[in-house]
A and B are shown apart, each in its own frame.
Chain A
């Protein structure tokens, strides 16, 4: 029998040669701790002193940290260079959704609404005037553009106003899209955003026939929800709950989703809001920041809204949800889940507000009722305030190329690319973050913004640190997070 060689023999190339660091960035956490991230968002947490030794090229291959850094592709040495192949594949995987181009196409079928929510940016009082409805001609031109997108998966989402007030057009668009799709063969899906207040059997039959997903609004318990969402009769919550039940019964439990809007009144109520979602049998909640656009600014509700308070709201909610999970009740906070997917998996979630290159236009696009094309939902809200910087064309006046390859879209995309703008380019969180040029334009007047002054940056940085701290401190929390990260 031939001799077996000892482990030390196989360590020789490392002992002999030193190492080459691969691209990485670092950022202090609390106390002495630092987080290091590599090109694709893998991370290592260590002490300041160890980071210094690594950065100085002095880290011994026998150090536990060396093994961790090597395993997670922060360095290569004379022993092996397959890390480069793997890293290349991971970079490609993270960026690959870009090649599909626009997947989400939002149709604003009417601005009319029977609610009069104070924070709402766009809706018009409910009346029978049709001037705020999308026409069939506009819908057909928009569909031409939808199917010019190379994306193999196309999702058409109907928004308002209250989309159900123009149900005829919704039906028209669905049927026309399906007809075209017989040739196109895309993975075609529909989402109907509605407050469910005027839900009827015709809507349900339509949704059932075409597997339409219902996305509704639920802001919390009845008092909070009704305060946020005034309508004649003050019964918004009751109608939403009844609608959710009816829609689930007709379409299936998982065909109905809910989104919450955070207002100043929400900030002290996070547990109540989460409990309401549990009561209504949802699997998770998306604890959303309030957007700074539209009426929200005009009515001063944004001023009352304070970024620190929101973070307290967020982390109180997050910790409450984590405790539910540790107690054996699975429930997801979707904003964290999205970030955790970036941190803990090879994938890149398609959440438009947290992408770089930004998701505007190339992740999602909005066809407004009047044929104007906006780079994002926030972009059309900004336009309602008189700033049309992100109006990237009009379906009647412009070609696909003019809209999607024009400067109005490409300039903000290129300029805001996080990996090449000040602060983000050396920020350890850049692989998990995004660029949001619409927000920075709205708040600071340019696509990039000064990140130390940016609420977007400040908020996300706190969330990244908060998530890191929680998963690093408690192995059980890490398990919960791994589960959230892999919801696809």
Chain B
């Protein structure tokens, strides 16, 4: 688990740093001067080249005297991971630093808004009805600073499409500045039930776009209950149909919990019969974040208790030749015949293992646990022996 943000940063004097700076981090002593003027130099050792807008000083770093105190920021050890090419936000007034992009991570994602038109029982990022349009500006400023060789970035929310036209602006920015980077967007898909909205996204012709859209049940009212929004199922399905009609790739996402596992095989059959043309189906273990903890009684089921439903559902999808992946699953709670679908996907800053895992030979392949799993995880974890 790594720390992405802190508001206890010592900006020392710091007056020369922009009140709200989005800066690329550099470790390059030979960085051209014009670029230094808008970047932050990461000070690990005991010298630093002149001319950077700011200097991020790690615990073992010592800034030489040629660096004005007014441009120094002293970082705690949690930020040792920062490296060349990363992008951070500095807000001296709040003593804040936040890592927006890590070049070495395959899991960079951007929260576009906290607003949402669903209110899912297990939402890990509980929506807030706030005016947070500033986020878009910040991301638009960040995108050009991202390494164009980045494999993939993600957009999440809240519900990104609630941004309306500005949503397309962000997709267009990714297309223009990151022509080799895949873009994965988590959306509930409802906005795309408006065909014009779907058509506009399709017409942007992003080179490598995938929309991750949840469907939690084959029965509309069960889905609507899980997302706490009447009529959501119909809108989401129509949204998916419109997106596929306009050439946008769609991944169906199913979170595994007590309300979804009973009808999981029926849902799989529904997908295979009605939405065979979607590009991927992702089945995902429950994360103990946000609303999940409040609704734990309604949601928690030991993965060991839905083994057979999971195996059957994956079998149905696989035999229908749909592309299927299983995320966040502990292999010791999963039938071996579906291990080949299991992916290690939990973002690297979240993935952990439990003391029970000691000595397990499958650790290298196992999806492991979200850090949040400390709140609740199966009591049937048992290391797999050779």
Interface residues on A, range: 20 to 34
- The answer on a CB contact under 8 Å between B276 and A345 is yes
- CB of B219 within 8 A of chain A? yes
Which residue of the partner chain, among A2, A68, A89, A346, contacts B241 with CB atoms under 8 Å? A89
Binds B, one of A7-15, A255-263, A424-432, A436-444: A7-15
- CB of B126 within 8 A of chain A? yes
With known contacts A71-B266, A71-B270, A4–B241 Cβ distance under 8 A: no
Please encode chain B, from 211 to 224, with 1 for each CB lying within 8 Å of some chain A CB and 0 for all others. 00000001111101
- CB of B284 within 8 A of chain A? no
- How many contacts between A and B, using CB within 8 angstroms? 79
- The answer on a CB contact under 8 Å between B315 and A479 is yes
Residues on the B chain within 8 Å of A67, using CB:
219, 263, 266
- The answer on a CB contact under 8 Å between B320 and A7 is no
- CB of A483 within 8 A of chain B? yes
Distance A68 CA – B273 CA, assembled complex (angstroms): 14
Q: What is the distance, in angstroms, from A447's C-beta to the closest C-beta of chain B?
A: 32
- The answer on a CB contact under 8 Å between A486 and B320 is yes
- The answer on a CB contact under 8 Å between B225 and A81 is no
- CB of B374 within 8 A of chain A? no
Please encode chain B, from 309 to 323, with 1 for each CB lying within 8 Å of some chain A CB and 0 for all others. 000000110011100
- The answer on a CB contact under 8 Å between B218 and A482 is no
Q: What is the distance, in angstroms, from A8's C-beta to the closest C-beta of chain B?
A: 9
Instruction: Tell me the residues in window 67-92 of chain A with beta carbons closer than 8 Å to chain B beta carbons.
Output: 67-68, 70-72, 79-82, 85-86, 89-90
- The answer on a CB contact under 8 Å between B266 and A10 is no
Instruction: Tell me the residues in window 279-334 of chain B with beta carbons closer than 8 Å to chain A beta carbons.
Output: 291, 294-295, 315-316, 319-321
- The answer on a CB contact under 8 Å between A479 and B276 is no
- The answer on a CB contact under 8 Å between A346 and B221 is no
Residues on the A chain within 8 Å of B224, using CB:
10, 79
Majority SS of interface residues in chain A?
helix
Binds A, one of B7-15, B153-161, B232-240: B232-240
B237 to A, closest residue via Cβ: A82
- CB of B121 within 8 A of chain A? yes
- CB of B345 within 8 A of chain A? no
Which residue of the partner chain, among A68, A79, A82, A482, contacts B320 with CB atoms under 8 Å? A482
Distance A465 CA – B121 CA, assembled complex (angstroms): 44
With known contacts A80-B234, A486-B319, A86–B274 Cβ distance under 8 A: yes
- CB of B55 within 8 A of chain A? no
Distance A13 CA – B273 CA, assembled complex (angstroms): 26
Which residue of the partner chain, among A11, A70, A81, A346, contacts B234 with CB atoms under 8 Å? A81
- CB of A397 within 8 A of chain B? no
Residues on the B chain within 8 Å of A2, using CB:
119
Q: What is the distance, in angstroms, from A70's C-beta to the closest C-beta of chain B?
A: 6
- CB of B27 within 8 A of chain A? no
Distance A346 CA – B274 CA, assembled complex (angstroms): 7
- The answer on a CB contact under 8 Å between A71 and B218 is yes
Residues on the A chain within 8 Å of B276, using CB:
345-346
Residues on the A chain within 8 Å of B241, using CB:
85-86, 89
With known contacts A11-B221, A90-B273, A82–B319 Cβ distance under 8 A: no
- CB of A353 within 8 A of chain B? no
Which residue of the partner chain, among B221, B225, B319, contacts A483 with CB atoms under 8 Å? B319
Q: What is the distance, in angstroms, from B2's C-beta to the closest C-beta of chain A?
A: 28
Q: What is the distance, in angstroms, from B194's C-beta to the closest C-beta of chain A?
A: 14
Instruction: Tell me the residues in window 1-54 of chain A with beta carbons closer than 8 Å to chain B beta carbons.
Output: 1-2, 4-7, 9-11, 13-14, 42
Which residue of the partner chain, among A68, A82, A345, A483, contacts B266 with CB atoms under 8 Å? A68
Instruction: Tell me the residues in window 113-141 of chain A with beta carbons closer than 8 Å to chain B beta carbons.
Output: none
- The answer on a CB contact under 8 Å between B219 and A71 is yes
A5 to B, closest residue via Cβ: B228
Which residue of the partner chain, among B126, B222, B263, B321, contacts A7 with CB atoms under 8 Å? B222
Distance A1 CA – B228 CA, assembled complex (angstroms): 13
Instruction: Tell me the residues in window 226-253 of chain B with beta carbons closer than 8 Å to chain A beta carbons.
Output: 228, 230-231, 233-234, 237-238, 241
Distance A86 CA – B237 CA, assembled complex (angstroms): 9
Majority SS of interface residues in chain B?
helix
Distance A223 CA – B315 CA, assembled complex (angstroms): 42
- The answer on a CB contact under 8 Å between B273 and A482 is no
- The answer on a CB contact under 8 Å between A7 and B220 is no
Residues on the B chain within 8 Å of A5, using CB:
225, 228
Residues on the A chain within 8 Å of B221, using CB:
7, 10-11, 13-14, 79-80
Residues on the B chain within 8 Å of A89, using CB:
241, 274
- The answer on a CB contact under 8 Å between B274 and A79 is no
With known contacts A80-B221, A85-B241, A89-B241, A10–B230 Cβ distance under 8 A: yes
With known contacts A479-B319, A486-B321, A82–B238 Cβ distance under 8 A: yes
Residues on the B chain within 8 Å of A7, using CB:
221-222, 225
A67 to B, closest residue via Cβ: B219
Instruction: Tell me the residues in window 173-220 of chain B with beta carbons closer than 8 Å to chain A beta carbons.
Output: 218-220
- The answer on a CB contact under 8 Å between A90 and B320 is no
Residues on the A chain within 8 Å of B321, using CB:
486, 488
Residues on the B chain within 8 Å of A1, using CB:
126, 291, 294
- The answer on a CB contact under 8 Å between B266 and A85 is no
A66 to B, closest residue via Cβ: B219
Distance A409 CA – B325 CA, assembled complex (angstroms): 49
- The answer on a CB contact under 8 Å between B220 and A80 is yes
Q: What is the distance, in angstroms, from A63's C-beta to the closest C-beta of chain B?
A: 13
Which residue of the partner chain, among A80, A81, A90, contacts B274 with CB atoms under 8 Å? A90
Which residue of the partner chain, among B234, B291, B315, B316, contacts A82 with CB atoms under 8 Å? B234
Query: Known contacts A4-B228, A10-B225, A486-B320; can you find 7 more A-B pairs with CB under 8 A?
Result: A9-B225, A80-B231, A82-B234, A82-B237, A89-B241, A479-B315, A486-B321
Interface residues of A (CB under 8 A from B): 1-2, 4-7, 9-11, 13-14, 42, 67-68, 70-72, 79-82, 85-86, 89-90, 345-346, 479, 482-483, 486, 488
A-B pairs, top 6 by smallest CB distance, nearest first, are A80-B220, A482-B319, A82-B234, A10-B225, A10-B221, A71-B218
* Pairs A–B under 8 Å by Cβ, sample size 16: A1-B294, A4-B294, A5-B225, A9-B225, A10-B222, A42-B273, A67-B266, A71-B219, A71-B269, A71-B270, A72-B273, A80-B221, A82-B234, A86-B241, A90-B274, A482-B316
